[in-house]
Amino acid sequence: MTKKAISVFALAVGLLIVSMPLLAHHGTSVFDTDKTLTVKGTVTEWDWSNPHCLLQFDVKNESGQSVHWIAETQNPANMVYAGFGKASFKPGDEVTVTLMPTKNGLPYGRIKLVVLPNGKTLNTSGGSTNGDSADSRGTSKSGNYPKQ
């Protein structure tokens, strides 16, 4: 009976050890959720993939040096409904990004909204705030997938 109890306990501990990193992945503890930061930069890469889309861009700091930023969004399936697509950004685009910065001050954050070179604003919590997106007019989202 004791060997069986020890085996069950060891199995339970093993499962907890394996599952804890999975729970930690989706937390926001790394971000300062009480702050937003707006930076203007040049897109270097737009990674449209799971589990998060990543926008990489370079920002000139006060001394004129380039700082490489990475900003994440949700997964592509969710971002389609917010007006984002695989072709939303291309290298060289000048964008203004508003994000939740990290608590440790590293050049990384979670995107809240992005202003594109043409003035269109993509909002991660509600789609396009100007421009000609069907979402911004309140019409049906069906068929409103981005063109590849």
Among 40-49, 65-74, 80-89, 139-148, whose mean pLDDT is lowest? 139-148
Instruction: Write the pLDDT tens digit of every residue in 23-69.
Output: 455 567 899 999 999 999 999 999 999 999 999 999 999 999 999 99
> Which element (helix H / strand E) includes 114?
strand 108-115
**N- to C-terminal Cα distance for the chain?**
61
In whole angstroms, how large is the CA radius of gyration of the chain?
A: 20
pTM over 0.85, yes/no: no
Highest mean pLDDT among 28-32, 72-76, 144-148: 72-76
Q: What is the mean pLDDT of residues 111-127?
A: 89
Beta bridge partners of 95: 41
Place of tokens 């990290």: 102
Model confidence at 144, in pLDDT bands (50, 70, 90)? very low
Please report the pLDDT score of residue 15 as a whole number. 61
Residue extents of the structural domains in the chain: 37-137
Please report the pLDDT score of residue 59 as a whole number. 97
- CATH fit for domain 37-137, picks 2.170.270, 1.10.3470, 2.40.30, 2.40.50: 2.40.50
